[in-house]
Amino acid sequence: MRKLQRRTTLLVLVVVVLVVIIAGVLYVLLGREEEPGKEPPGQDTAQQAAEEALKTLEKLVTEDNYAAMGFTSPDEVAQAQLGAPMTVYRVQLDQLREYTPGETDPAGLLVDVSRLLYPVTVGEEVRSSVAVEGPQGVWRGTDYGGPGLMKVLSQYRQSDDDFAVHVGFLGLYFVGQRSEDGLWLTPLLDDPDLGFVAGEPLAAAEVFRALLPLAQEYKEEAPM
């Protein structure tokens, strides 16, 4: 009798353990994408990642944040579409410090970081944006919103071939264009001290010449 009870108890314990394991597996398989903070699944192309990022943006827009995300109402995001992406190039601090006017090719300072900015439009108007990144060829959405930056980039963009240039240590963005005359950068903001006028293209060599003293004087914070 005791042996039978022990076997029954053991059998119940085994069943409970199996149920817990199966429930855990189902939770991982079915609920993984819904967990906050989880990295979205990778995609083979930037366009696929951007389409998934747009779906995520739709979920992120609420009654409380729709204006900050760039929309005129919470329901407007349902009409959102992706515009032509802008490749983002970064100018690294260490490379800018080594820039020699008249000798260094300005185009050599642009670093392709596998990042694209997609304008999010409603009708013909830019409302917001999503960003995707694809290191090692696996693309994922990384940023959602940023209407102010995207609207200004789109304002000064002249063609789908134009790209964004980010000087990270200064927080500056430019619209970049390549032409027969070389590389040109359009400032997004006025800066009299640097000779920048918003919307007026400058040769990249002039821009980097103006930024060179700031790069040389910039002090990086020591790690904590």
Tens-digit pLDDT profile for residues 36-64: 456 778 899 999 999 999 999 999 999 99
Q: Do 67 and 30 fall within a single domain?
A: no
Cα–Cα distance measured from residue 138 to residue 85, given in angstroms and rounded to the nearest whole number: 17
Are 88 and 163 contacting, i.e. CB atoms less than 8 angstroms apart? yes
Q: Do 119 and 34 fall within a single domain?
A: no
pTM (whole model) above 0.85? no
Q: Do 84 and 160 fall within a single domain?
A: yes
Q: Do 150 and 163 fall within a single domain?
A: yes
Confirm whether 224 is domain-assigned: no
Strand pairing partners for 182?
179
Confirm whether 154 is domain-assigned: yes
Cα–Cα distance measured from residue 168 to residue 90, given in angstroms and rounded to the nearest whole number: 7
pLDDT at 113: 96
Q: Do 120 and 63 fall within a single domain?
A: yes
Q: Do 34 and 45 fall within a single domain?
A: no
pLDDT at 28: 32
> Within a 13 Å sphere around the CA of 40, how many CA atoms are in the beta-carbon half?
24
3-state secondary structure 54-86: HHHHHHHCCCCCCCCCCCCCHHHHHHCEECCCE
Q: Do 33 and 84 fall within a single domain?
A: no
> Which residues of the chain register pLDDT less than 70?
1-38, 221-224
Structural domain that includes position 17: 1-38
Q: Do 128 and 207 fall within a single domain?
A: yes
All residues at 6 or more sequence positions from 150 whose CB lies less than 8 Å from its CB, including other chains: 70, 117, 119, 120, 126, 128, 129
Give the chain's domain count: 2
